[in-house]
Amino acid sequence: MAGPSYDDRDGWIWMDGAFVPWRDAKLHVLTHAMHYASSVFEGERAYDGAIFESRAHSERLAASASALGFSLPVPIEDLCGIKAEVMNKNGLKDAYIRPVAWRGSEMMGVSAQNNTIHLAIAAWEWGAYYGDAKMKGARLDMSQWRRPAPDTIPCKAKAAGLYMICTLSKHRAETKGYSDSMMLDYRGYVAEATGANVFFVKDGVVHTPSPDCFLDGITRQTVIKLLTKKGVEVVERHIEPDEMESFEQCFLTGTAAEVTPVAEIGPYNFEVGALTRDISETYEAHVRQRPNN
């Protein structure tokens, strides 16, 4: 594990309207969110001092909150400014930004109608999510857990409750020596990794699962636009697991993962090929050129 524990660092965290010293950004143990997963969050990256797609992440945070039946205590218009302040206050240029909103502690039970909605924003320096996989390709296990159906949970929200099976999958993968895990959806189609979307390449065409029961990542949407602009055909469709046998290349996309090549998913192997390298480099250039939005 790199760096000191996340509760023991220098710096400032924005919490409910004020900057508090990093080590003092604490909650009570009877916080509803901790018992009933009533929290939503974002993961964003800043490059050269500018948060990539800041507005889109703020909108998604508000949409996730709405899916859980609450509103953010701060209007979307103000969120981008606060995130930029968090960056400045901590002297950061290249950073990971973590906004989180949650139900507080007034009521302790399944119902939490009148609980205060809290909002905190932290930011810190964070390198490559999959370590040296950017060069060699990540190795993924196959998860025993499936992404849930849209009528069983608000599956498009970036909400804490949806990550329980991700942590279980990732822990099992790491125990077996892999760096992540590929999850199928409730129908048995290929869905996504535990914190990133997946793309495959075959005969120069890119195939990616239709995001009908999981997060349509902001990186995913960006990469589809960049590929299309290059004239590469991108097909969004349902993908059967055994189709992975015939795919030549594979890569993951996500704010943390950026574009990370994949060398292996369970029994299936992929080459780290030219198209994957090219889109990875194009994405890197793209995120550094954007104005702060």
Least CB distance to ligand PMP at residue 214 (A): 6
Structure-token pair, residue 192:
């996504």
Q: According to CB under 6 A, which one of 99, 104, 209, 254 is a site residue for ligand PMP? A: 254
99 binds ligand PMP (CB under 6 A): no
Least CB distance to ligand PMP at residue 170 (A): 11
192 binds ligand PMP (CB under 6 A): yes
User: 190 by DSSP, 3-state: which?
Assistant: strand
195 binds ligand PMP (CB under 6 A): yes
> Cβ closer to ligand PMP: 112 or 190?
190
Structure-token pair, residue 53:
């797609």
Residue located via tokens 């409750």? 161
DSSP 103-119: E-SS--SS--TTPPEEE
217 binds ligand PMP (CB under 6 A): yes
Q: According to CB under 6 A, which one of 208, 255, 260, 276 is a site residue for ligand PMP? A: 255
Binding mask 121-160 for ligand PMP (x = CB under 6 A): -------------------------------------x--
Among the residues of the chain, which ranges form H helices?
Answer: 32-36, 54-67, 76-89, 133-136, 164-175, 218-229, 274-289
Check: CB of residue 22 under 8 Å from CB of residue 124.
Answer: no
Beta strands 138-147 and 180-185: pairing type?
Answer: parallel
Structure-token pair, residue 59:
């909108």
d(CA 121, CA 117): 14
196 binds ligand PMP (CB under 6 A): yes
Q: According to CB under 6 A, which one of 33, 38, 39, 43 is a site residue for ligand PMP? A: 43
33 binds ligand PMP (CB under 6 A): no
- Catalytic residue chosen out of the listed positions 134, 158, 170, 176: 158
Of 1-9, 173-181, 249-257, 281-289, the segment contacting ligand PMP by CB under 6 A is 249-257
180 binds ligand PMP (CB under 6 A): no
170 binds ligand PMP (CB under 6 A): no
Structure-token pair, residue 261:
């090549």
User: 122 by DSSP, 3-state: which?
Assistant: strand
Q: Is 134 part of the annotated catalytic residue set?
A: no
Q: Which amino acid is at 264?
A: E
Nearest one of 34, 10, 12, 8 to 118, comparing CA atoms: 34
Binding site for ligand PMP (CB under 6 A): 43, 158, 192, 195-197, 215, 217-220, 253-255
Residue numbers annotated as active site: 158
